[in-house]
Structure 1
């Protein structure tokens, strides 16, 4: 799940910097951009964030439907869903390599499909249930890190995992931005390979069904 958090950072870097300022994993950012755009803020997109948000919800609903009744933890169904996410991201990276300067309609399609894939990933991570590692958002992770710290009156339990999640999404975003200087599709290709590797490793772990 930490590896997927890293890849989410790369995917969001591609979406925000390369696909008209659209977050495809971090829906909090998308909702904020959408709200400001609807209020008339200058040069902020509306259609892209709205479509990515809809795609994310569709993907999460699909993931929830597939995983309905599954026990917490890794299962054959979580493996299948993560393989699906990896294949979709891989396909989108290939499309960008073939068309490195997509038109606006193509870019909107790409960001919407990425949002859908990330919705599936988020639903899958939710069932796997690694505490504070949703793979797509770190606000709640930061809250837990601070509130449960010694300064917050806690014991600092789980601070290592929480800190790792924050640092990895940060590193992923930086890596994605750096890869953009080479090619728009490079970050997605790397994210797809990470996702498929995670699915392969998970498939070899003890399963719940």
Structure 2
């Protein structure tokens, strides 16, 4: 672990890939447990909403709107919090991921004593909270800016993986992280769907724990990187020391 903490670039890749897994869990739990509503994948939500507006397929309308609104608010809050922040992982990113985890825990509370399908008074607030949390997570990931791992959507990652492949443009690419981003999102969805068989709150609790772990490890990595930078600056300081 110590070795990973000292390798900032590798650490950030691992943490963002871990968030892809958490996203898969949240989206699976949300879609299957909240009347076919995506709470992280807004591309899917826009499509579901558009089809629902036609009245075809008995698809939801209010749920996707609430999720979209929550996601936009969460991403906006993240942008405001990170305004002027230095590039890379900062304490503000840690705080945002911590708040996102807290929101997932809050979303769990009204579902513990109820069974799906949830009444509107329960389902819509939970949907909004999940969208808000995922918007914050997506905003923090955008600021940390690990190439090819946006954490909340893998469409662009799939395009890059295919476009730059041996059968496509045939250029060097970061295919392992791209493949892992797609794969871990899928694995997270499988885990989320399986945990939903136990109860709605179980999957969200797992996702919250993952976010807390990512925030904690990211904070530790930030501290290690800061200490290393301070030590390097002290060694390179040519000013004479006075007793």
RCO higher in 1 or 2 (8 Å CA, sep ≥ 6)?
Answer: 1
Is this contact kept in 2: 1:74–1:202, CA < 8 A? Answer: yes
Match of 1:89 in 2: 104
Tell me the CA shift for residue 156 of structure 1.
4.1
Q: Quote the Cα distance in structure 1 between the aligned partners of 2:113 and 2:84.
A: 40
Q: Quote the Cα distance in structure 1 between the aligned partners of 2:168 and 2:88.
A: 30
RMSD across aligned positions (CA): 1.4
Q: Quote the Cα distance in structure 2 between the aligned partners of 1:105 and 1:14.
A: 18
TM-score (ref. length: structure 1): 0.96
Q: Does 1:38 align with 2:53?
A: yes
Q: Quote the Cα distance in structure 2 between the aligned partners of 1:142 and 1:63.
A: 26
Structure 1 runs of 4+ off > 6 angstroms? none
Classify the secondary structure of the residue corresponding to 1:190.
helix
Classify the secondary structure of the residue corresponding to 1:205.
helix
The structure with the greater share of residues assigned to helix is: 2
Match of 1:139 in 2: 155
Tell me the CA shift for residue 99 of structure 1.
2.9
Q: Quote the Cα distance in structure 2 between the aligned partners of 1:43 and 1:9.
A: 24
Q: Quote the Cα distance in structure 2 between the aligned partners of 1:100 and 1:4.
A: 27
Classify the secondary structure of the residue corresponding to 2:56.
coil
Q: Quote the Cα distance in structure 2 between the aligned partners of 1:86 and 1:100.
A: 22
TM-score (ref. length: structure 2): 0.83
Structure 2 unmatched ranges of 5 or more: 1-15, 227-243
Match of 2:131 in 1: 115
Which of 90, 115, 135 is the aligned partner of 1:75? 90
Structure 1 unmatched ranges of 5 or more: none
Classify the secondary structure of the residue corresponding to 1:203.
helix
